[in-house]
């Protein structure tokens, strides 16, 4: 590909990958061992949405597996399948182009459908009520930390001489390592753990169970679907899921194309909201337990307050982003939005366990299924709205 200045090239005839090369100053044919692919925006959105297709297909089956066998097995499936698929993706892409990538992402979506229901089931078995807000927040910072690591790795490794495949190999090896750790040390409940002390087991199960959590109960579908609190929680989960997926899939591209920052810098800037959100997640979790354990506010009020902070703050920040293209202001808005969004961990997510300790995973399954329908359509909508990233792309000589 020629590294010609963008001013001297007809925008209509320039491919997306050529623009990337011109902007970053890279030459993929000589610097990287693996070729890059020229996919239009519509194809890119199809690749992104294919994960959600797989996720939606297995949402209900995986939720039922969690309800029947607990949270460990679906987590093992997710980690092992994603590890193998990630490692194979670069070779499959060279063989089958974007269709192969879609197939890989569908497989990953199929296997990951049980992750959040599994976490809810594990929380219900392992986390005492008095520590529910803090401990669930601490656990969910794991996904945030993983996102930060992924942004850093993808930006750095994709510009190495081995190119973008190294990102998939690194992530795949991490998945397989976590699978080994979970298999050796993990358990679905304290009673199933091989090395837990009797004192620990009595402490955890005495506070968690209290006669409220039992195995193999019949799911009360009628009672759940006729419950107004359940529907309020589900509505919040759908809206939160749409915003979260939009953030994950569109923010890196937005920072790159709108603010004119290259791929590696985009990785750094894209990770800043997640770094900040780790601290707000821990803060919200600690504050929620502090206020409720001291009877300053009720558990219900705490859930409403932190859930509202999440939804209102996220929406306000997203709206503000549309009125500026300055890098500093955009990143500040995105940092604020993701920081507020962490309120969901002590909002609707922990509220699922509050409402039904025996069926927290099932409630998560139902909410995920509803959110998936809207999320599948999201990339399609984006591809219709964002039809020409070329005309908003800044050149390196433009002032930020």
Residue spans of the domains in the chain: they are 39-191+221-388
Between the CA of residue 374 and those of 54, 246, 294, 371, what are the distances in Å?
A: 14, 11, 39, 5
pLDDT at 123: 85
Query: What's the chain's average pLDDT?
Result: 77
State pLDDT tens for residues 332-344.
888 888 888 888 8
* 39-191+221-388 classified as CATH 1.20.1250.20: yes
Cα–Cα distances (Å) from 20 to 5, 15, 214, 247, 264, in that order, read 11, 9, 55, 21, 12
pTM tops 0.85: no
Question: What parts of the chain have a pLDDT lower than 70?
Answer: 1-34, 41, 206-216, 248-249, 251-253, 255-270, 325, 379, 386-400
| pLDDT tens string 126-143 | 888 778 888 888 888 888
pLDDT at 326: 72
3-state secondary structure of 282: helix
What distance in Å separates the CA atoms of residue 136 and residue 115, rounded to the nearest whole number? 14
């Amino acid at each position: 590909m020629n590294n010609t200045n963008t001013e001297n090239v007809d925008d209509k005839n320039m491919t997306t990958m050529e623009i990337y090369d011109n902007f970053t100053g890279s030459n993929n044919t000589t610097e990287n061992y693996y070729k890059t692919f020229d996919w239009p925006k519509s194809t890119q959105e199809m690749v992104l949405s294919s994960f959600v297709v797989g996720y939606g297909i297995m949402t209900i089956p995986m939720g039922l597996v969690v309800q029947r066998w607990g949270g460990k097995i679906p987590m093992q499936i997710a980690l092992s399948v994603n590890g193998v698929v990630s490692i194979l993706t670069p070779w499959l892409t060279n063989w089958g182009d974007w269709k192969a990538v879609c197939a890989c992402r569908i497989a990953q979506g199929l296997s990951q459908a049980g992750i959040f229901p599994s976490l809810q089931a594990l929380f219900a078995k392992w986390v005492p009520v008095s520590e529910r807000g803090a401990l669930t927040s601490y656990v969910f910072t794991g996904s945030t930390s993983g996102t930060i690591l992924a942004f850093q790795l993808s930006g750095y490794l994709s510009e190495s001489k081995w190119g973008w495949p190294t990102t998939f190999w690194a992530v795949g090896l991490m998945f397989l390592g976590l699978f080994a750790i979970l298999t050796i040390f993990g358990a679905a409940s304290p009673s199933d753990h091989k090395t837990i002390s009797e004192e620990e087991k009595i402490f955890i199960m005495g506070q968690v169970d209290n006669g409220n959590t039992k195995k193999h109960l019949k799911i009360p579908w009628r009672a759940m679907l006729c419950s107004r609190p359940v529907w309020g929680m589900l509505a919040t989960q759908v809206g939160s899921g749409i915003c979260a997926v939009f953030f994950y899939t569109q923010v890196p591209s937005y920072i790159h194309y709108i603010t004119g920052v290259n791929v590696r810098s985009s990785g750094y800037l894209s990770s800043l909201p997640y770094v900040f959100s780790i601290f707000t997640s821990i803060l919200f979790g600690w504050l929620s337990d502090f206020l409720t354990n001291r009877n300053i506010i009720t558990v219900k009020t705490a859930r409403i307050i932190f859930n509202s902070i999440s939804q209102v703050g996220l929406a306000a920040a997203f709206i503000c982003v549309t009125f500026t293209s300055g890098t500093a202001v955009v990143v500040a808005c995105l940092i604020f939005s993701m920081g507020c969004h962490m309120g969901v961990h002590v909002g609707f997510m922990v509220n699922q366990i509050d409402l039904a300790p025996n069926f927290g995973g099932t409630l998560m399954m139902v909410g995920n299924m509803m959110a998936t329908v809207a999320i599948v359509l999201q990339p399609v909508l984006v591809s219709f709205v964002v039809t020409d990233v070329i005309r908003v792309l800044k050149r390196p000589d433009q002032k930020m």
